[in-house]
Amino acid sequence: MLPISGGTDRAADQQLKDSIFHYYKLYSLWSDNIMPEDKAVFSFTDAYGSPADVLIALKKTTPFHAGYNANIDRFSYLEDRSNIGGSPEDLDLNRGFGLFVSLGAVNEKVAYPIIYYAEGGSSAAQAGIRRSDVILGIDDDQDFSVPVSCEGGGCRFLDDKIRQTVVNKLLAALQQSSVRIRVRHTDGIESTLVISSKPYEVNPIIKNKVFLYPAKAIGYLALSSFEAVPEGKVGRSRLNQVFEDFEQHQIRDLIFDLRYNTGGHVSTVEYIANKIIGATADGALMYKYILNAYLSKPNNLPGESFDDVSFKRNNNLNLSTVYFLVTDVTASASELLINVLRPYMNVVIIADHNGTYGKPVGFFRKEIMGKTGLWVASFKLTNARNQTDYWDGIGADQRNVADYIFRDFGDAEETMLSAALNHSVGKASSSALASGRSDRGPAVKMSKLENVNAVREGYMRR
Element (H, E) at 20: helix 12-27
Q: Are residues 411 and 426 in the same domain?
A: yes
Q: What is the CATH number of the domain that holds 337?
A: 3.90.226.10
Is the pLDDT confidence value at 456 over 80? Answer: no
Look at residue 447 and tell me if it is in a domain: no
pLDDT value for 124: 97
pLDDT value for 445: 58
Q: Are residues 253 and 194 in the same domain?
A: no
Is the pLDDT confidence value at 430 over 70? Answer: no
Q: Are residues 176 and 221 in the same domain?
A: no
Of 129-138, 141-150, 292-301, give the lowest mean pLDDT range.
292-301
Q: What angle do CA 206, 208, 211 make, to 5 degrees?
A: 145
pLDDT value for 431: 40
Q: Are residues 100 and 161 in the same domain?
A: yes
pLDDT (tens digit, 9 = 90+) per residue, 161-175? 999 999 999 999 999
Q: Are residues 161 and 218 in the same domain?
A: no
Binned at pLDDT 50, 70 and 90, residue 33 comes out as confident
Look at residue 82 and tell me if it is in a domain: no
Please return the burial class of 278, using the count of CB atoms within 10 Å of its CB with bins 0-12, 13-18 and 19+.
Answer: middle
Q: Are residues 298 and 429 in the same domain?
A: yes
Look at residue 415 and tell me if it is in a domain: yes
Q: Are residues 107 and 180 in the same domain?
A: yes
Domain hosting residue 51, numbered range: 7-74
**Reduced 3-state DSSP string for 96-148:** ECCEEEEEEECCCCEEEEEEEEECCCCHHHHCCCCCCCEEEEECCECCCCEEE
Q: Are residues 163 and 309 in the same domain?
A: no
**pTM of this prediction?**
0.92
Binned at pLDDT 50, 70 and 90, residue 443 comes out as very low
Look at residue 158 and tell me if it is in a domain: yes
Mean pLDDT of 13-38: 92
The fraction of the chain above a pLDDT of 70, given in percent, is 90
Q: Mean pLDDT of all residues in the chain?
A: 91
Q: Are residues 388 and 294 in the same domain?
A: yes
Could you tell me how far CA 397 lies from the centroid of its own chain? 20
Look at residue 245 and tell me if it is in a domain: yes
Half-sphere exposure of 26 (CA within 13 A, CB side): 15
Question: For the packed helices 38-45 and 12-27, what is the interaxial angle rounded to 10 degrees?
Answer: 110
Q: Are residues 60 and 177 in the same domain?
A: no
Look at residue 394 and tell me if it is in a domain: yes
Q: Are residues 180 and 68 in the same domain?
A: no
Look at residue 294 and tell me if it is in a domain: yes
pLDDT value for 2: 60
pLDDT (tens digit, 9 = 90+) per residue, 335-367? 999 999 999 999 999 999 999 999 999 999 999
Q: What is the CATH number of the domain that holds 127?
A: 2.30.42.10
Mean pLDDT of 77-95: 68
Mean pLDDT of 79-92: 61
Mean pLDDT of 26-44: 90
Binned at pLDDT 50, 70 and 90, residue 304 comes out as confident
Q: Are residues 138 and 229 in the same domain?
A: no
Is the pLDDT confidence value at 3 over 60? Answer: yes
Number of domains in the chain: 3
Of 54-68, 288-302, 435-449, give the lowest mean pLDDT range.
435-449
Look at residue 326 and tell me if it is in a domain: yes
